[in-house]
Amino acid sequence: TETDEDVLGIADMAAHVIEAGRRAAGTRDIRCTISIGGFVPKPHTPFQWVAQADPETIDHRLRLLREKIRADRRYGRAIGMRYHDGKPGLIEGLLSRGDRRVGAVIEEVWRDGGVLDGWSEHFSFDRWTAAAERALAPFGVDLAWFTTRERPQGEVLPWDHLDAGLDRDWLWQDYQDSLYGAEVEDCRWSGCYDCGVCPEFGTEIQIGPTGRSLLPLTVVNRAG
Ligand code: SF4
């Protein structure tokens, strides 16, 4: 659902932050750092069906953003930018929404010498794409099938048998709303949307003892 304009808006946001900081602090010595990477859709979220943007699209948008910041004579020098290019994100997307067939890809990468891939100096995109091609071909699927393909509503997803408490129909509706930019208020203050995650709906979410007070997850009935 993201457009080039959405990404370019990040530069405007940084300029606003610097301007507000200068006003509040009474000094021009205010900097803002943008830390950014491509969006990786995750299971059990409204974007579990969405087509992930390919690395070329991500890199193109990062380039546009960099150029816009550089061209900004007023704030550009005060804006820093840290980013990950699009290729590692695609592999992250494969691992995030892959099914058990992706296990063969991981093994193939390891057999080909891939270790410590989370460190950029060890990561090889070419090794992953070659391994995916070899390991997934017998199943009739490929890297794009797991990443840049939009899933239809009725497709059985690899994690559907795991219950995270969120109602599948609610997630789908939230995804549809996002396509039209519909905003949803924070349910702690506005009332319950029946997403299914609160204990009142019989969900028993297990979390470890943190010793901290958790935010109250109490259903507030919506007026009307
Ligand atoms: S109150 Fe609980 S069940 Fe209702 S929308 Fe919020 S998180 Fe979901």
Q: What is the pLDDT of residues 193-208, one digit of tens each?
A: 877 777 665 656 555 5
What is the structure's pLDDT at 214?
61
Please tell me the distance between residue 218's alpha carbon and the centre of ligand 1 in angstroms: 8
Output the ligand 1 site: residues, CB below 6 A.
187, 192-198, 217, 219
CA distances from 153 to 17, 94, 171, 173 (A): 39, 19, 10, 10
Phi, psi values for residue 11, rounded to 5°: -65, -40
Under the phi-then-psi rule, with left for phi > 0, alpha for psi from -120 to 50, and beta for the rest, what region is 12? alpha
Rounded-to-integer distance, Cα 192 and Cα 218, Å: 9
pLDDT of 65 strictly over 90 = yes
Please tell me the distance between residue 186's alpha carbon and the centre of ligand 1 in angstroms: 9
Give the number of other CB atoms < 10 A from CB of residue 48: 21
Please tell me the distance between residue 13's alpha carbon and the centre of ligand 1 in angstroms: 30
Predicted ipTM > 0.95: yes
The rounded percent of the chain whose pLDDT value lies above 90 is: 68
Calculate ∠ Cα 159-161-164, nearest 5°.
75
Give the three-class secondary structure for 153: coil
Give me the chain's average pLDDT, please. Answer: 89
pLDDT tens track for 71-80: 999 999 999 9
68-77, 83-92, 162-171, 206-215, range with the lowest pLDDT = 206-215
pLDDT tens track for 91-129: 999 999 999 999 999 999 999 999 988 888 999 999 999
Q: Which residues are CB-contacts of 30 (< 8 A; sequence separation ≥ 6)?
A: 18, 21, 22, 78
User: Can you give the residue ranges of every domain in the chain?
Assistant: 4-151
Ligand 1, atom nearest to 217 Cα: 2
pLDDT of 62 strictly over 60 = yes
